[in-house]
Amino acid sequence: MHSNNMDIPPETRVGDFTSKPSELSLARWSERFFAWLIDFIIVSIGIEILFYAATFPLWFDNNPDRWFRSGASIGFVLRSLIFLAYWTYFESTSGQSLGKRIFHLKTVGISGQTVNVRDALLESFGKSFLLPIDLILGWIFTNDKRQRIFNRVSNTIVIKLRSHSEENSSNVRYRKD
């Protein structure tokens, strides 16, 4: 069975059995960081546009400070919830956020399977609210699979996708008549 998309792992039909690859290429920490950075920039721009649009009427208030007392913690929680929703949605539907698509990375289950919503939510929570702690503890305790702590909790890994040419050439056989 041939697939035209870059979905990993590719499945091949052999008789009545479906086989999955026995090797997954783990994404490097640097690739994951730059994918996260792209997501962070894109989502932050969207959040700022939404916040400025939502507070537009307050621009004409003579005393705007009254609306934003102790707003730093509320702003952090709102932004983190938006990031959580963003990453949960993309990683549970396609396994790829916009940054991961650019770097040809994908979040999958530990055996290469698609990530469900619960696991995507768990995995995304760490990078939305606790990224420095999640990352440092991941480097210390789970470096063999390049997992952050919340990757380990959710049984997920981030892999590097093969290009179409690599995928097609490894699954194509030629036969002469």
Please tell me whether residue 167 adopts helix, strand or coil conformation: helix
Q: Against a cut of 0.85, is the pTM above it?
A: no
Flag whether 142 is in a domain: yes
Flag whether 87 is in a domain: yes
pLDDT at residue 142, rounded to an integer: 78
Domain tally, the chain: 1
Distance CA 169, CA 12 (A): 13
Flag whether 40 is in a domain: yes
Report CA torsion sign: 78, 133, 146, 141.
negative
- How far, in Å, are 6, 165, 166 from residue 170 at the CA level? 14, 9, 6
In single-letter form, the type of residue at position 95 comes to: G
The more confident residue out of 107 and 73 is 107
Flag whether 30 is in a domain: yes
Asked which of 54-58, 69-73, 102-106 is least confident by mean pLDDT, the reply is: 69-73
Flag whether 31 is in a domain: yes
Instruction: Note down the domain range covering 93.
Output: 25-55+69-162
pLDDT at residue 90, rounded to an integer: 97
Flag whether 86 is in a domain: yes
Is 18 a residue whose pLDDT tops 90? no
**Residue of 61, 174, 77, 64 whose CA lies nearest to 129:** 77
CA 97 to chain centre: 5
The more confident residue out of 52 and 128 is 128
Is 127 a residue whose pLDDT tops 80? yes
Distance CA 12, CA 39 (A): 32
Q: What is the DSSP letter of 114?
A: P
Residue 21 preceded by cis peptide, ω within 30: no
pLDDT at residue 144, rounded to an integer: 86
Q: For the chain, give the mean pLDDT.
A: 81
Tell me the range of 32-36, 54-58, 76-80 where mean pLDDT is highest: 32-36
What percent of the chain is predicted at pLDDT more than 90? 55
Flag whether 84 is in a domain: yes
Flag whether 15 is in a domain: no
